[in-house]
Amino acid sequence: MIRQFELVEKIKSYDPNADEDAINRAYVFAMKAHGSQKRASGDPYFSHPLEVAGILSDMKLDTASIITALLHDTVEDTDATLEDIEKLFGKEVRNLVNGVTKLTRIEGQSDQTKQAENFRKLVLAMSDDIRVLLVKLADRLHNMRTLDFVREEKRRRIARETLDIYAPLAERIGIMHFKDELEDLAFAALNPDARESIMSRLHFLQHQDGDNHIEPVIKELTEILKKEGVTAEITGRVKRPYSIWRKMHHKNITLEQLLDIVAFRVIVADVTDCYKVLGILHSVYRVIPDRFKDYISTPKPNGYQSLHTFIIGPNRQRIEVQIRTRKMHEVAEMGVAAHWQYKQNSNETHDYGWLRSLLEILENTSGAEEFLEHTKLEMFQDQVFCFTPAGDLISLPQGATPIDFAYAIHSKVGDHCVGVKINGRMVPLRTILHNGDQVDIVTAKAQTPSPSWERFVVTGKARANIRKFIRSQKRGQFVTLGRSLLQKGFEQAKLDYTEKQIEGTLKGFKCNTTEDLHALLGEGLNTPAEVIRAVYPNYQPAKKDKPLKSVEEHEKNLWKDKKSALSIRGLIPGMAVHYAGCCHPLPGDHIIGIIMSGRGVTIHTNDCDMLKNFANEPERWIDLTWADQEEKTTHVGRLYVIMDNRQGALATLTTTISKNHGNIANLKVVNRTENFFEVNIDIDVTNTDHLTNIIACLRASTLINSVQRI
């Protein structure tokens, strides 16, 4: 454990103007506050904040950060208050301690919601001052170093949280040695056998000839560069077990097949020398194709810059070489801490676009769990670099689409996106973007996000915005439906309906407004009968009265003896409706509606096999009928067709459908043999009679073996 005078001397060595008196007072304050408290290891509890302060002093952080490290547990675990801290150490330290406070009321519990809420608060705190995150990461690092003393269940939970949240955050602010150690310590806790196996295999591969292979490579590279007049500092390292494990799983290869088990860093004076070294190495050694990356011209989002190349190096070893300047190396190792200088009213948080992105996601999500889900999407994936027509660089996760690109520019650009040009050519919105693509988003004021976009976007920001729009759209439908159902319920019960009466029941339904309650009713999560009983607890319907019916019955009666403007009778106008993909109901079929929580009503044919899944929930069933259709609206009918594998068969199929006024929406060959084709085909038709006529005409063809409606 670092001692008081050692801590002060270390800080003074890089910051001669550090407030020595304040550091000593913080040391004494924390030691007295924690008193005789013990850690799980049996060590005095005060050893933990002292070690956290030591970790931050290694990073050469400012005095306020060091004092915060010493005090970060006092408010949560002792009788000390934030007021005490502000009085003794000032408002800056008070705010930092408040941001870093461990929140043990929710942290340390296994419930996913509690973890998500804790992370949400951490993001809000670090958005005000990134030093909050630096202290929090140092706190987590020391806890991980002493994880062996914690019981197994808690140890695995903390390790999983470290892999999911804290290691990616360390990577995002560029502190790679934090990220590497956190991952490796978590890996040791979660999968110790796998880690030990990789360690043993690495030791064998590196020493199979009885020698360490790193030093000879460094010597040869140094001599080659020296001959060309380049002075460089070269180091070599074996990659960490977790990094190797992750690549083995991601690429589905063995350890021996990995190209970058050993990485060498060449540190030179300036950027010109970086490219000169690259040219020398490529002229001397064979290059492994498609493995060169230039992060100098296109830095990573966390500011990382370096040249990466893979070569067949000395002794025919496959090695990775990273080439960078001294300044780039410091940023690569220490990230934000390498160039953090605190001045009055300055905050470098604003240099981190990813943090702004997290805050935008926070604004657009409905709860902490959804925020955590989208944030993981935002942090966990490798990057693709694309350009706007003006030449601005946009960094996105691999697999990103133009919709992700549009939302990365601005939420309004994403909301109004109607098309995209990639490298000057119009392409579908679901197209996968690649490195170097120039992306030109086409927008229109009338466009709104499509629910289908959520199926192919990969960024948390895009998904959060799309879900926000869908929620707002559906909520309006549910509110309208719920209000109608409730009014009809009171009318059937022969009771007066007033908004004031309903307001008295809101607390019982955990609602803040009557609109919230209407939305619950429209969504099918509560019934009008439940609200009536909440308003009139002793109410009993007269014998001549019909008993209160379900939401679905009220909904159906609203349309009794009325002509529907919809294609289906029994639904409220504006209600969210989905046609089941399992049975593809058409006008003319006997249909049933199933209320799906949060998604409105799904329409099935009454003989659909899927209905058996709802046999024990009759309250979710709605009897529906098709309304008379004045206009020729179309619906999708699906056919399974077996036809001869002969010339002209497919032409006959499509021509027959076209002649009978059907439009092919989709066609998929599901099987092909020497004699037959089997296809699924979706056809836009007006009703069952229309589809039946097409089926009959197809069956009349000599090239069609069989036709069956799916």
* pLDDT tens readout for residues 138-174: 998 999 998 888 888 888 888 888 887 788 778 777 7
pLDDT at position 342? 34
CATH topology (fold) of 203-338: Beta Polymerase; domain 2 (3.30.460)
Tell me the per-residue pLDDT of 667-709, one tens digit each, with 9 for 90 and over: 888 888 777 888 999 898 888 888 888 988 888 788 888 888 8
Please state the rounded mean pLDDT for residues 116-121.
Answer: 54
Say which range, 23-32, 471-480, 603-612, has the weakest mean pLDDT.
471-480
Q: Where are the domains of the chain?
A: 4-194, 203-338, 470-626, 635-709
Best-predicted range by mean pLDDT (193-207, 333-347, 655-669): 655-669
Rg, the chain, Cα only:
33
Other CB atoms within 10 A of residue 292 CB: 14
Residue in 15, 58, 77, 415 annotated catalytic? 77
Class of domain 4-194 as given by CATH = mainly alpha
709, two tokens: 């409606």
Determine the average pLDDT of the residues in 464-493: 76
Least confident of 510-524, 540-554, 623-637, 685-699: 540-554
Residue 18: other Cβ atoms inside 10 A: 18
User: Regarding predicted confidence, which is higher, 455 or 351?
Assistant: 455
- More confident: 361 or 443: 443
pLDDT recorded at residue 338? 56
Whether the per-residue pLDDT at 279 is higher than 90: the answer is yes
| Residue 656 neighbours by CB distance under 10 Å | 18
> 329 vs 528, which has greater pLDDT?
329
What is the DSSP code (8-state) at residue 109? -
382 labelled catalytic? no
What tokens were used for 338? 């390498």
Interval 309-333 mean pLDDT: 86
Residue range 632-641: mean pLDDT, rounded? 82
The whole-number average pLDDT for the span 636-651 is 87
CA dihedral over 171, 177, 182, 188, signed as positive or negative: positive
With a CB cutoff of 8 Å and minimum separation 6, the contacts of 349 are: 126, 127, 128, 129, 130, 355
The answer to which of 551-565, 573-587, 671-685 has the lowest mean pLDDT is 551-565
Q: Are 261 and 241 in contact (CB under 8 A)?
A: no
93 has pLDDT over 50: yes
Please indicate, yes or no, whether the overall pTM of this predicted structure exceeds 0.75: no
If one looks up domain 635-709 in CATH, what number appears? Answer: 3.30.70.260
Q: How many whole angstroms separate alpha carbon 687 and alpha carbon 430?
A: 31
**What are the pLDDT digits (tens) for 18-69?**
888 898 899 888 888 888 888 877 888 888 889 999 998 888 888 888 998 8
Catalytic-role residue among 15, 19, 76, 92: 76
73 counts as catalytic? no
